[in-house]
Structure 1
Amino acid sequence: MVAESPLSPADYWEDRYATSERVWSGRVNRVLADIADSLTAGRAPGRALDLGCGEGADAIWLATIGWDVTGVDLSATAVRRATEAARASGLDVSRVRFVAADLSDPLPATLPHDAYDLVTASFLHSTVELPRTDILRRAAALVAPGGHLLITSHAAAPPWAGAEHRAHAAQHPFLTPDEEIAELALDPEQWETVAAETRTREAVGPDGEPATLDDGVVLLRRR
């Protein structure tokens, strides 16, 4: 995914967060909530890694239902807001932590390898260059045997997307779930496809306009 920009992905996203009071809604991603509930049916939550955690809503929600969570984002401002939100929620701070790191580079050495029961990436898209597939492959290597990799993506740009986002989507179409799996090219002897589907949800835009959106959902289990 490449767009002409003088900014690196880290600088682009830091600027976006730093110039906005809030970027995201603060609500958990519905796909993540539904799947996390199914993964913990009859078993205790484990360790989770949230890639591109933004202002922390998904990571905080996971922590409230018992996961030990690490959230990673490019933006130091996003990580600061996420940390503040976790403290304000009254969570035990040992259950959730946030790390500012450039996901274009190898994931931070401070993250345990092959140790996460759930690695999730929700809407990990960027209008400036970001090696998304490489990031997801590296993240897959952090999934423990029996653990899951969950990727939730836009199937199309929302109707309220600005001209920059619409132009980028036209030049770089969003991957279907099957295309996502093919791009990852993970060893099928080590990975089982649990779900590769499109889910529909109702959403409300920044100006209150309602819309029906489609999300691509990929859930893989490491054998």
Structure 2
Amino acid sequence: MPVARVDCRSFAAFCQGHHAHACSIPVDELPTRMHELPKTSEPLALYANAEDLQKAAAFLTSKGYQVAQAIEWTLKLEATLQAAGLWQSGEQSQRLWQPAPLLARFVTEFMPAHQIQPEQGLDIGCGAGRDMVYLAMHGWQMTGIDYIPGALQRAQQLASSQHVTVTTLQLDLETGQDPFGAFADGQFALICVARYLHRPLFPWLKRLLKPGGVVIYQTFMQGSEKFGSPRNPNFLLKAGELAEVFAGADILLNAVEILDDGRPVSAFIARY
């Protein structure tokens, strides 16, 4: 199985030279940049000096990662990488994170198949921003909303690392009032929601979509409570619920996907 390579030295040291397929995350930044790592099922190869190597390996192991290789950075290693054509200098850092599979499928499959052009998009409950940044990398002008300031800060840092620009807004979406007053009717050609469900928002989402706009909704369904959280029925979709909510739209995808841990999630894409 291939490994994901993480260089845990300082960024300055990384820029001076690194494994060509490595991602730069200094050891002290690991706790706040976990969203830049792959799934825990993907083994890691770490690079650092001896002290930082031990620290990084201990931290990542505690988070459920398998550290397949812990490689001390030495002059001999530099020479080996150069001889093998695997030496690279500069700021280019390998992207290890991935968006939600449904978002990747939307970009690679549904956009070309339905001639959907990137315009303004809105990510509701954007978290650390992987989906939003991925869409921005493919031409979308993305705005992300979340309640947690730290999450929005991480989203901006992720966007900067990928050389794209996103807009982030801190909003409480569950006040009982319209939280989208700053946006115009029909402003967005895309609205995406992942792992978040607050049913009172549904009417307002329709208001924000422009004609021909797309809604992508992926969140936990009834049955997830058998495997873990969430267990509150307010946070669990019913079978067929989204098709009913967005009746009248052209439903491009309405399926159920199963996560690695057994929880069912919606895979829903509809176009107005």
Q: TM-score, normalised by structure 2?
A: 0.57
Is 1:180 paired with 2:242?
A: yes
Is 1:102 paired with 2:172?
A: yes
Compared CA separation, residues 173 and 53, structure 1 to 2 (3 A): closer
Is 1:63 paired with 2:63?
A: no
Supply the AA of the counterpart residue of 2:265.
Answer: D
Gaps of 5+ in 2: 1-30, 38-96
* Contact persistence 2:180–2:204 (CA under 8 A): no
Is 1:145 paired with 2:211?
A: yes
Percent of pairs identical after alignment?
19
Greater relative contact order (CA < 8 Å, ≥ 6 in sequence):
1
Instruction: Kindly state the Cα deviation for residue 70 of structure 1 after the two structures are TM-superposed.
Output: 0.6
Instruction: Kindly state the Cα deviation for residue 138 of structure 1 after the two structures are TM-superposed.
Output: 0.9
Supply the AA of the counterpart residue of 1:76.
Answer: P
Give distance in 2, aligned partners of 1:21 and 1:148.
Answer: 32
Give distance in 1, aligned partners of 2:151 and 2:204.
Answer: 22
Aligned residues: 177
Compared CA separation, residues 63 and 177, structure 1 to 2 (3 A): farther
Is 1:46 paired with 2:119?
A: yes
Q: TM-score, normalised by structure 1?
A: 0.68
Supply the AA of the counterpart residue of 2:242.
Answer: E
Q: Aligned residue for 2:15?
A: none
Q: Which has the larger radius of gyration?
A: 2
Compared CA separation, residues 158 and 59, structure 1 to 2 (3 A): farther
Deviations 1:81-105 (A, max 9, x none): 11122112222x2xx2111111124
Give distance in 1, aligned partners of 2:239 and 2:167.
Answer: 30
- What's the Cα RMSD here? 2.7
Supply the AA of the counterpart residue of 2:257.
Answer: R
* Contact persistence 2:137–2:162 (CA under 8 A): no
Give distance in 1, aligned partners of 2:212 and 2:120.
Answer: 12
Compared CA separation, residues 85 and 101, structure 1 to 2 (3 A): same
* Contact persistence 1:116–1:142 (CA under 8 A): yes
Q: Greater shift after overlay, 152-161 or 211-220?
A: 152-161
Give distance in 2, aligned partners of 1:195 and 1:99.
Answer: 29
Instruction: Kindly state the Cα deviation for residue 218 of structure 1 after the two structures are TM-superposed.
Output: 2.2
Give distance in 1, aligned partners of 2:242 and 2:268.
Answer: 8
- Equivalences for residues 158-169 of structure 1 within 5 A: 161=228, 165=229, 168-169=231-232
Gaps of 5+ in 1: 1-19, 126-131, 204-210
Instruction: Kindly state the Cα deviation for residue 196 of structure 1 after the two structures are TM-superposed.
Output: 1.9
Supply the AA of the counterpart residue of 1:27.
Answer: Q
Instruction: Kindly state the Cα deviation for residue 122 of structure 1 after the two structures are TM-superposed.
Output: 0.8
